[in-house]
Amino acid sequence: MPRPQARTITFTIDGLEVQAPENAMLVDAAKHGDVEIPVFCYEPKLGQPVGACRMCLVEIEGIPKLQTGCSTPVKDGMVVHTQSERVKEAQNAVVEFLLINHPLDCPVCDKGGECPLQDITFGWGKGTSRFIEPKRHFVKPLELSPTIAIDRERCILCYRCVRFSQEISEDYQLVLQERGAHSYVSTFDGHPYVAPFSGNIVELCPVGALTSRAYRFRARPWDIEDSGSVCTLCPAQCNVTLTVRDERVMRVLARQHPEVDDGWLCDRGRFAYPRLGGDERVSEPLLRDGGELRPVSWERALEEAAAGLKRAGARTGALVGGQATNEEGFLLARLMREGLDSPHIDSRVAGTLPLELQRELGDPSLQAHVSDLEFAHAVLLLDTEPIEDAAILDLRLRKGVRRHGMKLVRASSEELLNKQAAGELVKTLKAAGEEIVVLWHERLTAGPKGAEAARALLDLATTLSLAGAENSGLLEIPAQSNGRGLREAGVLPNASPGLGAPADTGNAAEGLDALGIADALIKGELSAVYLLGVDPLEDSSSLPVWSRSHSPWEQQRPLWEQALERASTVVAHATFLTEGIREHANVVLPAGAYAEKEGTIVHPDGRIQRLRPAVARLGSTRAEWQVLAELAERIGLDLEVRNGMAASQQLFDAVPFYAGLTLEEIGGKGIRWAQRETAAGVASS
């Protein structure tokens, strides 16, 4: 359906004339006039308001009774009063009513200092209470889930958490049990609330009833700092706010970005942060000595790594993991091609696609926005299960189906390659409407039929007239978090930065892809391998399905076990000491986690986003750009990189469609390069 086009109207609030979008809820419209109307139950992300808490009562001329500002759409010429005696009396009464049973937990409550109930009590409460009866008591805290605790006596029954469970994530696990003063939030059957997005209810709760068990009693608002960044644990790349105390990440909150995550987070992105400082982190250089990895100085580690790589020279291969930044991948590609004369570098597990197909799939006119998943008439899922591949997209699809009647269609690569089945797909999609998004996973183009599937996908886009159409296009979910960015940075065996020909780098040879590198190591054609943020033996099958960051290398594990065994030099630039690195690496160089990094990454829809360091690097860890520059210098190549900004500038200069880009332009919200004038470079490169 078309995106809503709001007409601006004028209304009066507390004597001020204010312009706001027509039919916006009065609570939101009032903000255009810098007027705050207090709320508890209202949250725009939850959809249609329910008017449950009555905190937002206002007086509207022409209507005898007070109205709830959260559920009253603003109209042209409307006259509203929020400061009249009637309104103040009603607001005082609501606050007084809410505090009848609310405990005086503020000194020990995790919400203290950032609690809407505290703020509204001071701003709109009367300051005294007529009630002297004993407050109700529950057993506290209870484990609502493995990650969430609930203090039921603090609950003000705003209904936010229950609405999220039933209307947003649609897991239907949370309900209000009992009636009246005995009501409380619980799961229907009393079982733990286990769901992929359960942590969002902690952030939605306007009081301290729902708290994170990992954060509980760990910090207070006045001794923490907030830092904005981007989660790189999956391709969804949600915007986050990291709560930091004493150089440690204490919690992760959503950072509102309607075009990326719609303000939600999956539980993996929200609760995986303790691992950033866990025991498995690599915090100092390690060198294999007597069959064991032992700590050594940076000087010794770099010397050994450089010697091994220089000895192998053009017989070196490199793999780059999805949490690497564009700059890291770009610098490693330069080190390989210019320093070692080796084109054997890959970040694409699915296998190499011809450059022509990669450029066509990246055509700016074909790129869909994430928000198009909500407003399109139909979305086709090709070889993907969003809740596993990029979890937060699942909520966007549910929103489109629930609120806008979007038709959801699933298909596999086999159907796409079958002309008769593909014809039926086209009929089904066209019957839904003209605006169509094809959401596909990188695995669609994997294997021997990958190029054929890519061509079939492009043919489907042509048949559906997706190029340049509103709320339409192709949207790829890469196998790795920054898969798209690394490809655009030239971390491919057959492409230079900007998806140009390899000859642009001074080495016209087409390199080996990931599988080819493994095979060449086994055969002895390659003797060294550089692993940047990746362990091809890593197995994540022990994680719950909904939180699994599928290691795209898992299916290649038997091959890589032989390859790493045969390699004479394995240099691992790693954040965590995984099984494969512990058993096979000769040199381990510590790498930063996403909360410690600076650089850029690219969202699946082409939005370049910026990582900013929130905490200091763990132990003696150095910035990846610095390590790569020092390593290159020891090999005989000066990368001319003296700081992180210089690395970014080199990248922007090397990629034609990033030309003229600056870190300031990217800012905190990112920028889609397809919307810049230089976007035409991808088609002509």
Q: What is the pLDDT of residues 469-511, one digit of tens each?
A: 999 999 999 999 999 999 999 999 999 999 988 755 445 578 9
Which are the contacts of 230, defined by CB distance < 8 A and separation ≥ 6?
A: 237, 238, 239, 240, 594, 601, 609, 610, 611
pLDDT over 90 at 6, yes or no: no
607 domain residue, yes or no? no
CA gap 535, 642 in Å, rounded: 28
pLDDT in the model for residue 207? 96
Q: Are residues 61 and 43 in the same domain?
A: yes
Confidence of residue 299 (pLDDT cuts 50, 70, 90): very high
Q: What CATH number has the domain bearing residue 66?
A: 3.10.20.740
147 domain residue, yes or no? no
pLDDT in the model for residue 555? 65
Q: Tens digit of pLDDT for each residue in 62-91?
A: 999 999 999 999 999 999 999 999 999 999
pLDDT in the model for residue 548? 37
Q: Are residues 448 and 531 in the same domain?
A: no
Strands (E), 214-306: 225-230, 239-245, 248-254, 286-289, 292-295
Q: What CATH number has the domain bearing residue 637?
A: 3.40.50.740
241 domain residue, yes or no? no
Q: Mean pLDDT, to the nearest integer, of 166-176? A: 95
Residue ending a domain, choose from 422, 456, 477:
477
pLDDT over 80 at 332, yes or no: yes
- 479 within 8 A of 443, measured Cβ to Cβ: yes
Long-range contacts of 245-252 (CB under 8 A, 24+ apart): 245/218, 245/219, 247/615, 247/616, 248/277, 248/615, 249/273, 249/276, 249/277, 249/595, 249/614, 249/615, 250/215, 250/218, 250/219, 250/224, 251/212, 251/214, 251/215, 251/218
pLDDT in the model for residue 651? 97
Between 173 and 542, residue with greater pLDDT = 173
207 domain residue, yes or no? no
Tracing tokens 């007027």 back to the chain, one arrives at 35
pLDDT over 70 at 547, yes or no: no
Q: Are residues 432 and 473 in the same domain?
A: yes
132 domain residue, yes or no? no
Q: Are residues 384 and 328 in the same domain?
A: no
Tracing tokens 């966007």 back to the chain, one arrives at 396
pLDDT over 80 at 161, yes or no: yes
Residue ending a domain, choose from 457, 477, 497:
477
Q: Are residues 469 and 534 in the same domain?
A: no
Mean pLDDT for the chain overall? 93
Tracing tokens 């099984």 back to the chain, one arrives at 579
pLDDT in the model for residue 199? 97
Residue ending a domain, choose from 40, 70, 98:
98
Nearest to 473, CA basis, from 453, 457, 487, 488: 457
pLDDT in the model for residue 343? 96
Q: Are residues 396 and 528 in the same domain?
A: no
Q: What CATH number has the domain bearing residue 378?
A: 3.40.228.10
Region of 51 please: left (phi>0), alpha (psi -120 to 50) or beta: left
642's tokens: 């003296």
664 domain residue, yes or no? no
Nearest to 399, CA basis, from 410, 386, 412: 386
Confidence of residue 552 (pLDDT cuts 50, 70, 90): low
- 486 within 8 A of 324, measured Cβ to Cβ: yes
Q: Are residues 437 and 293 in the same domain?
A: no
Residue 203's H or E segment, with its range, is helix 200-204
Strands 57-60 and 8-13: unpaired
Q: Are residues 456 and 530 in the same domain?
A: no
pLDDT in the model for residue 33? 95
| Dihedral angle computed from the Cα positions of residues 466, 470, 476 and 480, in that order, rounded to the nearest 10 degrees | 160
Q: Are residues 559 and 418 in the same domain?
A: no
538: helix, coil or strand? coil
505 domain residue, yes or no? yes
Range of the domain at 528: 286-349+482-595+620-643
pLDDT over 60 at 241, yes or no: yes
Q: Are residues 534 and 635 in the same domain?
A: yes
2 domain residue, yes or no? no
Q: Are residues 430 and 454 in the same domain?
A: yes
pLDDT in the model for residue 681? 52
* Count: domains in the chain: 3
Nearest to 342, CA basis, from 482, 529, 535, 563: 529
Q: Are residues 444 and 317 in the same domain?
A: no
pLDDT in the model for residue 181? 78
CA gap 432, 64 in Å, rounded: 45
Between 283 and 556, residue with greater pLDDT = 283
Q: State what percent of residues in the chain have pLDDT above 70.
A: 95
